[in-house]
Amino acid sequence: MYASGEEAMVGDVVQGSGGRGQVLTVTQSGLGGQETAMVQWTTPLEKVPGISERPAPVTVATRSLTLVCRNRPTQN
């Protein structure tokens, strides 16, 4: 569950300490059932002046994230 109370779902666009990113997976972990999400940050980081790259996906607690928008799967 995100900080705002919404249920975490794969594909969500979220805001967190790494900037803006997309949720790749959602997992229950630990005895307390703390929920975590694997997030691919889309905000580029500057490695050296003039050169930026997208950071690797990281696992973060969902309650530290804010839902920006929910991506809806397209139907054929």
Burial of 47 (0-12, 13-18, 19+ CB in 10 A): exposed
Looking at residue 70, its pLDDT comes to 92
Looking at residue 4, its pLDDT comes to 87
For the question of whether the overall pTM of this predicted structure is more than 0.75, the answer is yes
Residue 74 lies in a domain: no
Q: How many domains does the chain have?
A: 1
Residue 39 lies in a domain: yes
Per-residue pLDDT of the chain (76 residues; tens, 9 = 90+): 998 889 999 999 999 988 899 999 999 875 567 899 999 998 787 878 888 887 889 999 999 999 999 986 555 5
Looking at residue 30, its pLDDT comes to 59
Residue 28 lies in a domain: yes
